Structure 1
Amino acid sequence: MRERSNGALPQWLLAVGPVLVLGSILGLLSLTTPFEALVAVDDASTLEIVWLLTVIGALAGVVPVAIGMLWFPFIRDLDPRYLHGFLALAGGVLAFIAIQLTVDIVETGLAADRTGLAMGLAVVGIVGTFVAMHAVSAWRQRTMAAADTDANGLAIAYLVALALGLHSIGEGLGIGVSFVRGDTTQVTLLVLAFVTHNVMEGPTVVAAVARDRTAPPLRHFAAMGLLAGGPVILGGWLGSFANSAPLAVLFFAVAVGAIAQVLIEVAGLIRFDAEGVLTRTNVATFAVGFALMFFLEDVLAGALLNGVLVPS
């Protein structure tokens, strides 16, 4: 039996608190244009560009993931059946991202000057990453079996964070390209869009940890948050200095391969202490996670990027 937290805060506040924080940040970003005052790219030094993209990437990637991880105390105190459902919800989030990335691979690859090279990189990225992560997972399971331990959630949480981090590189590419073009309005809208849906990456990461007997030290949460959201910064750097379609396809493909392996890991984690994976609760929450990401990514974020929700 894992330990449960007994904090003084009521459950409803633990559930609503991150939403209030997210709403405040989105409100500030939508009412202001924080990137209008950015130094002109043509006059900026390389160091200035790197620093500004670091700040923007942290706001778009690290901050929303950290906000989402604030749901950990709420998730941790859920009944095991609903905790498994939350893991399934995380699977729905990951499945949507994988499908979206696959579409991006096809669209970006077909639009590239060297389509054959781009699609070849896609195959290598997906298959190579899946095989490599599967081998690492098998080694980890053998090591844990030899050590006679079932503290599996933290290891899988790191794998989830890694897969999401690889996906986040693609987001940073979009920010970097818009930045070097001097389109500060587009940068603001991209940040708004990424903050909106990246907040779901936080609970997706910590859901696996919540089923372990004890909560890990805070340094693990910080490391996983940086691993999941920090690559937006790396993508921003790459997008500003190496705007390459084949490179983007490769990063997208690596993320798809990683997510495919992580979905297998999440299913195994549910199966570890549950009668089955395809329960009504799990299927329903998987669908909710998928639908929620569709709303955040294709509906709400699309409205933001089209200027519907942001005053001109």
Structure 2
Amino acid sequence: MGSRAALIWLLLPLAVLVLAVAWLVTANPLSRFDNGAPPIENLTFERTILSEGRVDLLVRAGGSEPMTIAQVQVDGAYWQFVQEPAAPLRRGDTAWIRLSYPWVLGEAHAVQIVTNTGATFVHEIAVAVPTPVANVATFWSQMLLGAFVGIVPVAIGLMFYPALRGIGRGGMNFLLAMTVGLLVFLMIDAGGEAFELAGEAAAIFQGRVMVVLAACAAFLMLMAAGRRGGTPSGLTLATLIALGIGLHNLGEGLAIGAAFASGAAGLGTFLVLGFTIHNITEGIGIAAPILKVRPALWVFAALALLAGGPAVLGLWIGSLAYAPQWSALALAIGAGAILQVVVEVTSYLMKADGRGVVALSSWPVLSGLAFGVAFMYATAMLVKI
């Protein structure tokens, strides 16, 4: 009898909700507030694809009512277009706007979309360059670039492993604190980029809220998984560090790939070398927790791939299927994962030192933390564009 009563009390509020929605739809009490004003309309440009004599735009609607695209202007002139699908765009719907337009290489172009209510939405193509197409040559070039800015510097940092094995407790504390410092920098950098990209996403995704929720979810899930066997140490901790760095590099790869596709940036030799120098300490940070063990050679290769490999995947996705909300989500997850690693490395440092919280105020720890942050900040000047 008790279970039946509980079921009734569970279904009763749901039934009231259904009745309320049915009354709202049929009675339409909101019609009394209709003063003739047009519905709220919003349109976000998510992708731009430039090919020979063509401009294709992926747009997402975010208005209160279905919206109809009536006209398209390019550089101030009305232009014929094809919308796929052709139906009015409901809230959250996407459509491709396809134009046959002779864009000029290296020039800026402005596209303006006009709806049937007269609302206008402007999208600027800052530098017109052909969008990369999916072929073997493009994938190979992007793989080489991603490996050079992601895998190579991590591998170089891991190569310091034999030279660091003989350091004492003070040196170990310095390296672990340096790892915390570089991770804190990466976390702040990833969070800032995530919020910036969230501002470019369609309002329907609630970008900034999404970033916070995704970061918190990643942190809590990884904390729960990482603590199943107690406080991680040794190879387990090194793997967590590599995972956090890899998720950050995935977001960075998405941003670099998107910049290439939009023509907003080009990487010269100096900039690629800057990325390499900037990321070398990541490999040293991964090596720090395993200095007291002797992993097999394949373990170092796996750690380098885990930390740097996602940069390749990010470049591929970013150049071919970029959208700001997904890049923001990837960076947010990376920031949450890095925060979890910061907590674990700090806990491991206090446990290994034997003095607990007191160890955090020691000279090796403070200098290592400062060095990690300062090195990452200084080398970031080489790669920020």
Q: TM-score, normalised by structure 2?
A: 0.61
Counterpart of 2:235 in structure 1 is 154
Counterpart of 1:263 in structure 2 is 342
Are 2:149 and 1:60 aligned?
yes
Tell me, in whole angstroms, the C-alpha distance in 1 between the residues paired with 2:267 and 2:148: 15
Q: Secondary structure at the match of 1:208?
A: helix
Q: Deviations over 1:201-235 (max 9, x none)?
A: 1101111111x3x3111111110000000100010
1:89-238 pair list within 5 angstroms: 89-114=178-203, 116-141=205-230, 152-181=233-262, 185-186=266-267, 188=269, 190-210=271-291, 212=292, 214-238=293-317
More helix by share: 1
Q: 1:242 is matched by which residue type in structure 2?
A: A
Q: 2:309 is matched by which residue type in structure 1?
A: G
Aligned-residue offset at 1:47: 3.0
Q: Deviations over 1:219-268 (max 9, x none)?
A: 11110000000100010011012211111111111111111110111012
In structure 2, relative to structure 1, the CA distance for the partners of 1:115 and 1:252 (3 Å cut) is farther
Aligned-residue offset at 1:184: 8.0
> Quick check: 1:161–1:228 contact (8 Å CA) kept in 2?
yes
> Quick check: 2:216–2:336 contact (8 Å CA) kept in 1?
yes
Are 2:369 and 1:289 aligned?
no
In structure 2, relative to structure 1, the CA distance for the partners of 1:188 and 1:120 (3 Å cut) is farther
Are 2:379 and 1:300 aligned?
no
1:19-30 pair list within 5 angstroms: none
Compare 90-99 and 170-179 and name the one that shifted more: 170-179
> Quick check: 1:159–1:262 contact (8 Å CA) kept in 2?
yes
More strand by share: 2
> Quick check: 2:133–2:320 contact (8 Å CA) kept in 1?
no
Q: Secondary structure at the match of 2:229?
A: helix
In structure 2, relative to structure 1, the CA distance for the partners of 1:189 and 1:173 (3 Å cut) is farther
Q: 2:369 is matched by which residue type in structure 1?
A: F
Aligned-residue offset at 1:283: 1.3
Counterpart of 2:37 in structure 1 is none
Q: Secondary structure at the match of 1:166?
A: helix
Partner residue of 1:83 out of 159, 172, 194: 172
Q: Deviations over 1:29-83 (max 9, x none)?
A: xxxxxxxxxxx96685533322221111111111111111111112211111211
Aligned-residue offset at 1:92: 0.3
Identity percentage of aligned residues: 33
Instruction: Please identify runs of 4+ aligned residues in structure 1 that moved more than 4 A.
Output: 40-45, 181-184, 187-190
- For the pair shown, the structure with the greater C-alpha radius of gyration is 2
Q: 2:234 is matched by which residue type in structure 1?
A: G
Tell me, in whole angstroms, the C-alpha distance in 1 between the residues paired with 2:191 and 2:314: 18
Tell me, in whole angstroms, the C-alpha distance in 1 between the residues paired with 2:373 and 2:132: 43
Compare 93-102 and 273-282 and name the one that shifted more: 273-282
Tell me, in whole angstroms, the C-alpha distance in 2 between the residues paired with 1:49 and 1:271: 47
Q: Secondary structure at the match of 1:139?
A: coil
Are 2:321 and 1:242 aligned?
yes
Tell me, in whole angstroms, the C-alpha distance in 2 between the residues paired with 1:188 and 1:164: 23
Tell me, in whole angstroms, the C-alpha distance in 1 between the residues paired with 2:153 and 2:147: 9
Q: 1:104 is matched by which residue type in structure 2?
A: E
Greater relative CO (CA pairs within 8 A, separation 6+) = 1
Counterpart of 1:46 in structure 2 is 135
Aligned residues: 253
Unaligned runs of 5+ in 1: 1-39, 145-151, 306-312
